[in-house]
Amino acid sequence: MFTGIITDVGTVKVIDKKGDWIVQIESSAILDHLVLGASVACSGICLTVISKTDRSFDVQLSSETLEKTNAQKWGVGTSLNLERALRLGDELGGHMVTGHVDGLARVLSCDQEKESLRFRFEVEGSYASYIATKGSVALDGISLTVNEVEGNVFGVNIIPYTQQHTTMGKIKVGDHMNLEIDLMARYVARRLDVQDDNL
């Protein structure tokens, strides 16, 4: 479990694409006390640490992960938002994020709005019903508040701090970001479906 509060932006150093991908990620901030088998959210994808050095760690990506996420576009030099798994007693500064990516959100527009950036994203229709104004989403692992929803398009504002301390400052129109819908929205929708079935 994660919070969507990014603690470091790492860099892909090596990718071995034979079979499941083995990706080496360099990081300066999350390696202390990181143990083998630990979970790390890498741009929103919960991955397991399979080896580490004093400057980097390795993760393994299955074909399912590559098919469902933007990891298929990773290359040497790609920047990744990193967050270690939540520990009991940690501050929950964002919202509850599982690291299980639901789908991809495509950047439709990015406009300057005073000091912030206003992004609009398009998602598959099946996910749009889970996204609500003033609700939460995770995009590439970043906990964000939804400004507005129109059909299968939603908007968010990115303040300068988030631009500087995550990959959001590099995102361009046409890019695809990993989308995780809010866990609470998922269970509310499931509960409503069950009630409808019982009518």
pLDDT in tens, 2-32: 999 999 999 999 999 999 999 999 998 999 8
Confidence of residue 95 (pLDDT cuts 50, 70, 90): confident
Give the integer Cα–Cα distance in Å for 104 and 106.
6
pLDDT of residue 4: 92
Asked if pLDDT for residue 66 goes beyond 80, the answer is yes
Give me the half-sphere count of Cα atoms (radius 13 Å) on the Cβ side of residue 37. Answer: 0
pLDDT in tens, 140-179: 999 999 999 999 999 999 999 999 999 999 999 999 999 9
Sequential DSSP letters for 72-115: GG--TT-EEEEEEPP-TT----S--B-S---EEEEEEEEEEETT
Please name each of the domains of the chain with its CATH number. 8-84 (2.40.30.20), 103-197 (2.40.30.20)
pLDDT of residue 194: 43
